[in-house]
Amino acid sequence: MAKKKPLTDKKLLEYWGWAVKERAGHKCEYPECDVKYTQLHPHHFYSRRIVPIRYNLDAGICLCPHHHTFGPYAAHLDPDFKDIIIASGVRTEEWLEDLVRQKNVITKNTAAFKLECYEKMKMYL
């Protein structure tokens, strides 16, 4: 019997990115985006360095390059980005409160944790 390879961070983040885009219907989720890009980027609402939500689909949003890194309202440039996402209804206050609660849970990035996260996202893969 062949031994299964463990899920690496790199592979799991790749799966996470695919799942975020699939869940968004392969459209930019920025409010009223009318930028015509064919390439989309998965963006972590909070840093991916935060282990408890690193692979959590709820921590992701699908953005076009303009709203991810290039435009004046881009997630990486606009200090009001999170507020705009909440105020526009793309995400809710309750969603944000839940995400903040999850990100503050002490979690180790173990093989079991990675597998649990993979199981939650595989329906989008």
Give dist(CA 38, CA 28) in Å, integer.
Answer: 10
Q: Is residue 10 part of a domain?
A: no
Q: For residue 79, is it within any domain?
A: yes
* Position 11 in a domain: no
Phi first, then psi, for residue 117 (nearest 5°) are -65, -40
Asked whether residue 20 is domain-assigned, the answer is: no
Quick: pLDDT tens for 43-90: 999 999 999 999 999 999 999 999 999 989 999 999 999 999 999 999
How many domains in the chain? 1
3 in a structural domain: no
20 burial level (CB within 10 Å; 0-12, 13-18, 19+): buried
Instruction: State both tokens at 45.
Output: 């609402």
Domain membership flag for residue 107? yes
If you average pLDDT over residues 108-119, what whole number do you get?
Answer: 94
State which residues form the domain around 40: 25-124
pLDDT of residue 6: 77
